[in-house]
Structure 1
Amino acid sequence: MHDGVSVETVKVSELGAPQRARWNALRQTNPLLGSPYFDLRFVDVAGEIAPGAAIAIIRRGDEILGFLPYQRRGTLIQPMAAPMSDIHGLVAPTDTCLNLTDILSRLGADRARFSGLIAPGTNEGRGLSVRYAMAADVSSGFATYEAGRSAGFLKDKRRRFRTLERDHGPVHFSFEKPTAEMLDRIIAGKRQQLRRTHQYDIFACGWTGALLHRLAEITEADFGLKLAVLRAGDAIVAAELGMTSGDRHHLWFPIYDTAYARYSPGSLMTLETLRAAAEQGIARVDFGPGGEAYKRDFAEPAEPVFEGMIHTRPRTVGLTGLPGMTKLSRRFDGITACEPGLVGRVRGASSFVTAMTRRHPRIGAGVGLGVGIGLSLTLLAD
């Protein structure tokens, strides 16, 4: 590391009062770090629950320049609590000149995978794809927010709301801290959705669900989980678990009952969530990175975030270097994030092969071969 910069690795529980004060000061002065994922209360829980979690403290002499929360999987570095952390990156000033690749190299990483990297002031970004964090500004109230949205979109949702109420009884909405029972219901619903859409079940490993339950135990007024629930009569038609820090709320895990699909229950729930958030003093609701159509209905692009792989050694062999393997690499790194052990990775890869074969039966054999090659390379690399 150049210019006398050093990197020290510690457990989150080993952060002392001066380090924690510096973290909070950096976060307060850098608006890019307003996401709940940068709140130390989330990091404390993630550091306790997520396998391989650690903090890199970056110093020049006695001065702390910044922090990097991460988790290690062999020579692969991932965001702390991946795949649960939608936004991640350096906790540093906006004008920092830290070199993230050098920091990762000092941590002994051959490569690092990011999906929503906030890199304030660093020289990173080359070779990574740029997306934008999507956010809804409700700081001036819900009526002002509505005035800036498509009139046709809002008219359609009001019609669907009335139709849902006519067909299934009074519609009720709540936005509050989840009970353990409701949290289990969200996790079960999400697992069912992942199976239905032939995706890897991120809750099969156990620690990801434990992370949510531990966060749900936090009762502080300005931080913690909040659950939006939309009911028609006695039935829950849609729900979404989110996380709040100060005046920011991040939408996280949505589910809805497919039997009510024609009413657009997810959209109705999201509008009610924005209304409730504004009433509770939340200024910004985050939808996560990406420009999916449903996000554009509710939100606008905010700050840029980066996605992709950083290789710390030019000759590192990775899946991204092989034709057609980029998506498989991303899938494998997601499995690796959940499953730190070899047995778990093999089990996760096997379930992924099975899901892909069911989804694409004609190419099942080819997918299986690609997965086999990819898994072998991943395990060799790590």
Structure 2
Amino acid sequence: MTGFKVDILHVDAMGEAEWAAWRAFRAANPALTSPYFRPEFTQVAGRISPRAAVAVFSHGGEVAGFFPHQRRGSAVQPLGAPMNDYHGIIARPGEGPTLAEASALLGGSRLNVTAWVGDTGMGEDRRTVQVELGETGYDAWYAERRTTHGKFFKDKERARRSMETELGTLRVERGLRDPALLDWLIDLKRDQYRRTSRHDIFACGWTAELLHALLQTDIDGFGASMAGLWAGDRLTAIEYSLHADDQYHFWFPAYEPSLARCSPGILLSMDTMRLAAERGYRTFDYGFEGEHYKKYFCNGAHIVREAMVLKPGLGAAVSQAAVRALDLAGEGRGERLRASVRRRWAAIEACETSHADRLRGAVQAAGAALAKAKSASTRPVAA
């Protein structure tokens, strides 16, 4: 479909007619079940993220779709990036603009997406993974998982007993909305970013403000909350989640590094699912696959797309030339290194609102990626 027009509105300029159309489009499109597609997420994030707006696409005089986004310099990103784990056009299936059409209508030097929901031939596939409880609930899911992956879950049961013996009775609470607990979680994440040489997404300020605002939001089944695992009087793990309808999205987990041997984060996730299932939640989304434990938990998956839509010209040419130069080092590392740097850069660009801060973050990210690539290339190969 072609011939779309676009109007760019601030979130506060959206009227009830637009929000009603948004809700109707979402209800008609099974791909838009994630809490990130709820109007409430856009309403909160649109008031906090710098340079936020909603693109309202129309066709033949009728509203055809919406795309909440933010601008950083000349770049366009999904609203709430780098923390927005699902994004796309809010539209009925097959009726909204494509990724390429949306990029052209929005202008800017590029549109960067990391988890695009919807058909597009651009970019590359990435997989997100979920626990699907279905109607049988948590106990039936756990029984099946324990049968299929007995060693893993027996190990976690032993870890639970070990931590309880060492530190005291274990206790889990969910639905927590204490701002002080969120600050504790953010401090743990910031320490993790420092230890792993990743960009500190909370240093910019607005990202932490967004989590705090969502934590105080409870509208028509949409909101955010935390769950915590205590051993005796000691808080050992905490996880911040976004939830709506029957969907529960695990978002920011953190745990005491000194207790890693007891897997407190994994124990917390299991108990959170058990407690949340009692409240009617049926899908627990773990985001992108990768961490080894997710394969033991998850029995569902979705394919999303990662893409950078560049305007033709110097930017695209320089990008390709850099990859060719890196490939000269051998072993085809250029494309892999570019993907790593691109993801780091996407997070930096989304967080930082000044050119100086973006440049500083980019230099650090490139150095970390090159150091990692060099380390991998010089690692001895086992005989």
TM-score (norm 2): 0.87
Give the conservation status (yes or no) of the 8 Å contact 2:6–2:58: yes
Give the conservation status (yes or no) of the 8 Å contact 1:73–1:337: yes
Give the conservation status (yes or no) of the 8 Å contact 2:36–2:84: yes
Alpha-carbon spacing, 1:57–1:255, altered in 2? closer, same or farther (3 Å):
same
- The answer for the alignment partner of 1:339 in structure 2 is 352
Q: Distance in 2 between matches of 1:311 and 1:105?
A: 10
- The answer for the alignment partner of 1:368 in structure 2 is none
Deviation at 1:258, TM superposition (A): 1.4
In the alignment, does 2:341 pair up with 1:328? Answer: yes
Runs of 4+ in 1 over 3 A off after TM superposition: 349-357, 359-363
Deviation at 1:360, TM superposition (A): 5.8
Alignment of 1:82-97 (within 5 A): 82-96=81-95
In the alignment, does 2:124 pair up with 1:129? Answer: yes
- The answer for the alignment partner of 1:295 in structure 2 is 294
In the alignment, does 2:218 pair up with 1:219? Answer: yes
Alpha-carbon spacing, 1:282–1:319, altered in 2? closer, same or farther (3 Å):
farther
Q: Distance in 2 between matches of 1:15 and 1:189?
A: 37
Aligned length: 357
Q: Distance in 2 between matches of 1:353 and 1:132?
A: 25
Q: Which runs of 5 or more residues in structure 1 are unaligned? A: 364-382
Give the conservation status (yes or no) of the 8 Å contact 1:36–1:248: yes
Residue type of the partner of 1:143?
D
Give the conservation status (yes or no) of the 8 Å contact 2:89–2:97: no
Alignment of 1:1-382 (within 5 A): 3-96=2-95, 98-119=97-118, 122=119, 124-126=120-122, 128-140=123-135, 141-149=137-145, 150-220=149-219, 222-313=221-312, 316-317=315-316, 320-321=319-320, 322-323=322-323, 324=334, 325-349=338-362, 351-352=364-365
Identical columns (%): 36
TM-score (norm 1): 0.87
Alpha-carbon spacing, 1:208–1:300, altered in 2? closer, same or farther (3 Å):
same
Give the conservation status (yes or no) of the 8 Å contact 1:172–1:231: yes
| 1:219-262 residue CA offsets vs partner (Å, 9 max, x unmatched) | 33612112111111111111110111121111011111111111
Q: Which runs of 5 or more residues in structure 2 are unaligned? A: 324-333, 376-383
Q: Distance in 1 between matches of 2:306 and 2:7?
A: 25
| 1:92-132 residue CA offsets vs partner (Å, 9 max, x unmatched) | 1123363221221121133221111101xx4x133x11122
Give the conservation status (yes or no) of the 8 Å contact 1:319–1:326: no
| 1:144-193 residue CA offsets vs partner (Å, 9 max, x unmatched) | 11133123322221111111111111000011132011111111111111
Alpha-carbon spacing, 1:16–1:156, altered in 2? closer, same or farther (3 Å):
same
The alignment partner of 2:42 has SS state of: helix
CA RMSD, aligned part only?
2.2
Q: Distance in 2 between matches of 1:170 and 1:314?
A: 62
Deviation at 1:4, TM superposition (A): 3.3
Deviation at 1:291, TM superposition (A): 4.2
